[in-house]
Amino acid sequence: MQIVFLTPHFAPHFEGGTETVARAQARELAARGHRVRILSGTDRPHAGEDVVVETVDGLEVRFLPRTPGEVYDLALERPRLEELLSRQIAGADIAHVHHWSTLHGALVRRLGRQVPVVLSLHDLFVTCPRFFRAPVAPVRACPEGEDAALCARCVSSDAPGHTLDQLARGVAARTQAFREELQAARARVVPSAAHGDRLAHLMGLSGNEFTVIPHGLSQGLGRAPVRRWGGEGPLRVLFLGNRARLKGVLDLVRALALLPPAERSRVELLFLGEEVEEGLDRELVRAGQGLRMEFAGPYTLGELPERLERAGGAHLLAFPSRAYESYGLVVDEGQALGLPVWVSDRGAPQERVGGAGWIGPVAAPAAWCATFHKILASPGELEAQRQALPERSRGAADAAQDLEDLYAQALDSSP
């Protein structure tokens, strides 16, 4: 099968979460014998070549730089790129669109005239020009339904020279265009049921219009040495990933700070990842009221077990995110490391915890404190959670097999 992935960026130009997932899936599909190539947008300037070809992981990657006039706006109408993409996709059996932002806003509808298109929805971009429904002043909260006027106020600071009425019309047209993009896809993939349900709610669609294919780990991850905790020594709690208030890191520190001093002294908090809000680490230290903390720096996935062991290991991973996570890779990482995982009851992470952890209320430090108190008094409960961990973690190879099956169905349903 000849498969073309369309991505917003790709290594080595840039690699975020969407690109990491797409790269891993493409690599595994190629390992299964398919011919896979990548068409990618890029933020590198157009330097006279419409297509720049590189090789990554043995995959051919064709970067399509934008010209100065092909800006990011509500419409994403880029006729030159539209025609270029149409030519570049020639010969493909399946086109798998992973995003529109650096390419063209009508990718699915245009390419669907030539080839069956599978669409992956990694974030909330179809409902928000800012990708993640994280509003900026003067807007305090995103609407749960359509409110083009409110969205116009949110994006107005990035659109000088446009009236609110113009922006509201643009937002409404954008929403309708993306609704048509979803309808034009032969299959629509989401990484979790929670993400599919949220998209369906926000777009006025049916939740059964989405196929759930969890990402899994992008590469194998060996388990760190098992650290059972029977109450002797400190309970070591790991927070993994970028530190931001939206990820619940301050809620976690406040929960532990609510413990009585004698119990608080029995806990250590380990951070692996980066501070992404300036001054947050200082605030965490203040809020901890003497809680022992270690900031062990950023990590890559491949080195994670070694980095964790070098930092002294951990007994559980806590991820009380306030965000509507579309997937939450840290759950897979924690389980692969052999750690029970505690998450909030918002978004996708709760779907994969089962008995191998705990699901607590979002933004509720007192409830989390009560559960830490319970574990400190009854360490056997944490060991029971550890014993419930899955024997193996899902990986990109599993996702590739699921995609292969979905592609076959898409081809069988072709007119």
State both tokens at 384. 């029971």
Query: Residue 223 pLDDT more than 70?
Result: no
In this prediction, residue 414 has a pLDDT band, given cuts at 50, 70 and 90, of low
pLDDT at residue 226, as a whole number = 80
Q: Give residue-wise pLDDT tens across range 368-410.
A: 999 999 999 999 999 999 999 998 889 999 999 999 999 999 9
In the CATH hierarchy, which top-level class contains the domain 235-387?
A: alpha beta
Proportion of the chain above pLDDT 70, given as a percent: 99
In this prediction, residue 207 has a pLDDT band, given cuts at 50, 70 and 90, of low
The 8-class DSSP code of residue 62 comes to: E
In this prediction, residue 221 has a pLDDT band, given cuts at 50, 70 and 90, of confident
Residues 17-43 have a mean pLDDT of 97
CB distance 122 to 195 below 8 Å? no
Query: Residue 415 pLDDT more than 70?
Result: no
SS3 for the chain, per residue? CEEEEEECCCCCCCCCHHHHHHHHHHHHHHHCCCEEEEEECCCCCCCCCCCEEEEECCEEEEECCCCCCCCCCCCCCCHHHHHHHHHHCCCCCEEEECCCCCCCCCHHHHHCCCCCEEEECCCCHHHCCCCCCCCCCCCCCCCCCCCHHHHHHHHHHHCCCCCHHHHHHHHHHHHHHHHHHHHHCCEEEECCHHHHHHHHHHHCCCHHHCEECCCCECCCCCCCCCCCCCCCCCEEEEEECCECHHHCHHHHHHHHHCCCHHHHCCEEEEEECCECCCCHHHHHHHHHCCCEEEECCCCCCCCHHHHHHHCCCCCEEEECCCCCCCCCHHHHHHHHCCCCEEEECCCCHHHHCCCCEEEECCCCHHHHHHHHHHHHHCCHHHHHHHHCCCCCCCEHHHHHHHHHHHHHHHHHCCC
Residues 349-366 have a mean pLDDT of 97
pLDDT at residue 146, as a whole number = 87
Task: List phi, psi (to 5°) of 373.
Answer: -60, -40
pLDDT at residue 205, as a whole number = 84
**Strands, E assignment, 354-406:** 357-360
Distance CA 123, CA 215 (A): 13
In this prediction, residue 208 has a pLDDT band, given cuts at 50, 70 and 90, of confident
pLDDT at residue 224, as a whole number = 72
Distance CA 175, CA 144 (A): 14
Q: Which of 128-137, 158-167, 366-375 has the highest mean pLDDT?
A: 366-375
In this prediction, residue 134 has a pLDDT band, given cuts at 50, 70 and 90, of confident
Give residue 66's identity as a one-letter amino acid code. R
Residues of each domain in the chain carrying CATH 3.40.50.2000? 2-216+396-412, 235-387
Query: Residue 89 pLDDT more than 70?
Result: yes
Q: Which of 108-122, 192-206, 225-239 has the highest mean pLDDT?
A: 108-122
Residues 159-179 have a mean pLDDT of 95
Query: Residue 113 pLDDT more than 80?
Result: yes
Q: Give residue-wise pLDDT tens across range 301-321.
A: 989 999 999 999 999 999 999
Query: Residue 18 pLDDT more than 80?
Result: yes
Distance CA 153, CA 170 (A): 12
Identify the architecture of domain 2-216+396-412 in CATH.
3-Layer(aba) Sandwich (3.40)
Half-sphere exposure (CA, 13 Å, Cβ side) for 333? 24
CB distance 45 to 65 below 8 Å? yes
Query: Residue 280 pLDDT more than 70?
Result: yes
Mean pLDDT score of the chain, rounded to an integer?
Answer: 95
Q: Give residue-wise pLDDT tens across range 63-81.
A: 999 999 999 999 999 999 9
Q: Give residue-wise pLDDT tens across range 327-357.
A: 999 999 999 999 999 999 999 999 999 999 9
pTM: 0.92
pLDDT at residue 220, as a whole number = 83
